[in-house]
Structures are given as structure tokens and as C-alpha cells.
Amino acid sequence: RVFSDGFISGDAVECSINLQLVGEACFTNPLIVAVTEWASANGDEMTPTVFLSIETDELRHMANGYQTVVSIANDEAASKYLNTDLNNAFWTQQKYFTPVLGMMFEYGSHFKVEPWVKTWNRWVYEDWGGIWIGRLGKYGVESPRSLRDAKKDAYWAHHDLFLIAYALWPTGFFRLSLPTPEEAEWYEANYPGWYDMYGKVYDEWRARGCEDPNSGFLPLQWFIENNHPIYIDRVSQVPFCPSYCKGESTLRVLEYNGKKHSFSDQWGERMWLS
Ligand SMILES: [Fe+2]
């Protein structure tokens, strides 16, 4: 189950849980409310206007998800799958949204506003996982069991992903920039331990000439030299490096029909097995 797959495939209730209850009720707030702040801090006056208008429409979509749950609450045949579907939907969406949005905001903007982990905690953990899902408690809905692992990802997964993304850029069709010394200071202040894990690696890459193709050094070499293989999670398709990460990724490899499949977490593995 990759990000957005569950929006359009599955039964009607499962799609509504994926798109409206999780995608829209849980993740449009940290995406859209935050993007207006990041954009205006970086000199873009158009995006905040457009996206605040879009978010008012998202409220309507959230209500559809709420009503879907209410409408099946008394149907035992449907409601017995509700919490498993919700957990799968939450993990599927968070596996992509949590690292990618955090990476785009923090590493894609020169002027920083609120750290992603704070935005995430307010909207995903407290507002959605606590208040929104809490109000559905009377219909038998529980906060997803994977929320705890997602909380760890909210702190570190976008830093893990940027390390891999930066290492890959010379092989792709995009160019990324290393954090400046001022940015590195901001990361360390907001994510204590950032420098020891990521900052010192960027310093090494910079010293070896990664910003100049003539140096002949590709950051990807660093992963190979240090025996840190990069895998792609079979379910979410998000790349991960299990031996060099601080997020919730751990390696598991399953063999099926003579082929090996790698997974980064128990939640994706469970979905693949079922
Ligand atoms: Fe929507």
C-alpha cells in the first residue's frame, strides 16, 4: 500500500478512511496550514492566499470521513474492520507525508519557521489522534496503534530522507543544496543530536567536493564505503538506510516465490503479508 493507493482502490469505506479520515482530516492541516507560513516567510505571497482557500474546502472533505464512520458504526459486518483499516490507512499516509513534507519545508526553504516536529505534534498527534479520533470513540474508533512509531518518525524521518535524497541527486534529474552553517545551527537547536548524525556527514561530503561534479565524489559512495546499504520499502516505496537512520525504520527481508522483499517497519510488513 503506497501513499494515495488507498484513496482510489479498496472498498468504499476503506477509501473514505484513507482519503477523508486520514489524508484530509489528519494531514491537510500540517500540509496546508504550514505551507502558508513557510511560503510567506520565504517571500511567496500567492501560495498562502490560494492554500487558505483550499483548506476551507478540506473541512468539508473531513466531514465526509466523519459521517462515513457514523454511518457504518451500527453495521457489525463493516465496523469490525474499522480499526485495522484505520491503522493501515494512517501508516500508509504517514509513511510518505511525515518525511516528505518535513523535508520539503525544512530543507527546501531558506528562512525557517516552526520546526516540522512541532507542527506534526500539534496537528497529527494532538488535534487528530487525540481530539478528532477521540470524538469518534463512542463509535468504537481507536487511535491507530502505529501512531507511536509515527511520532518517532516525525522527529527524525525527514532528516534521514534528506540524507539519502542528497546522496542521490547527482544520479537523478534534480539538484539539492547542502545546509548552510546557519541552517545547521537551526537544525541542531531544534533537533538536538542532528549534527552528530547528519551535520558531520554533510561536512565530510562538502570537504570531499560533493558540490562540484569535477571532484569525482558522489555522496552515494559514502554509503557504500561505510557499509550502509540503502533499501526501498516494498510497501511504501520510500527508500531507507536501516544501519544509518534515527527514524523508526528497521530492516526485515522476506522471501516469496524465490524473490527477496525488503521492509522498513512492522506495519507495512503486516499489510504486505495480509
Ligand atoms: Fe480534499
Mean pLDDT across the stretch 132-147?
A: 94
Residue 28 Cα to ligand 1 midpoint, Å, equals 8
Share of the chain above pLDDT 70, in %: 100
Residue 25 Cα to ligand 1 midpoint, Å, equals 9
Residue 132 Cα to ligand 1 midpoint, Å, equals 17
Contact present, 13 and 72 (Cβ < 8 Å):
yes
Residue 122 Cα to ligand 1 midpoint, Å, equals 20
Mean pLDDT across the stretch 159-174?
A: 93
Q: HEC states along the chain?
A: CCCCHHHHCCCHHHHHHHHHHHHHHHHHHHHHHHHHHHHHHCCCCHHHHHHHHHHHHHHHHHHHHHHHHHHHCCCHHHHCCHHHHHHHHHHHHHHHHHHHHHHHHHHHCCCCCCCHHHHHHHHHHHHHHHHHHHHCHHHCCCCCCCHHHHHHHHHHHHHHHHHHHHHHHHHCCCCCCCCCHHHHHHHHHHCCCHHHHHHHHHHHHHHCCCCCHHHCCCHHHHHHHCCCCCEECCCCCCEECCCCCCCCCCCEEEEECCEEEEECCHHHHHHHHC
Contact present, 272 and 131 (Cβ < 8 Å):
no
Per-residue confidence (pLDDT) for residue 213, from 0 to 100: 84
The CATH superfamily label for domain 5-273 reads: Ribonucleotide Reductase, subunit A (1.10.620.20)
Q: How confident is the model at residue 230 (pLDDT cuts 50, 70, 90)?
A: very high
- Where are the chain's structural domains? 5-273
Mean pLDDT across the stretch 168-173?
A: 87
Residue 108 Cα to ligand 1 midpoint, Å, equals 24
Mean pLDDT across the stretch 130-148?
A: 94
Residue 94 Cα to ligand 1 midpoint, Å, equals 16
Residues with CB under 5 A from ligand 1 (ion): 24, 58, 61
Please choose, from the candidates 36, 59, 58, the residue with its C-alpha nearest in 3D space to the C-alpha of residue 49.
Answer: 36
Residue 47 Cα to ligand 1 midpoint, Å, equals 17
Residue 24 Cα to ligand 1 midpoint, Å, equals 6
User: Would the pLDDT of 170 be above 90?
Assistant: no
C-alpha 92: how far from chain center: 9
Per-residue confidence (pLDDT) for residue 10, from 0 to 100: 87
Which residue type sits at 61? H
Residue 67 Cα to ligand 1 midpoint, Å, equals 15
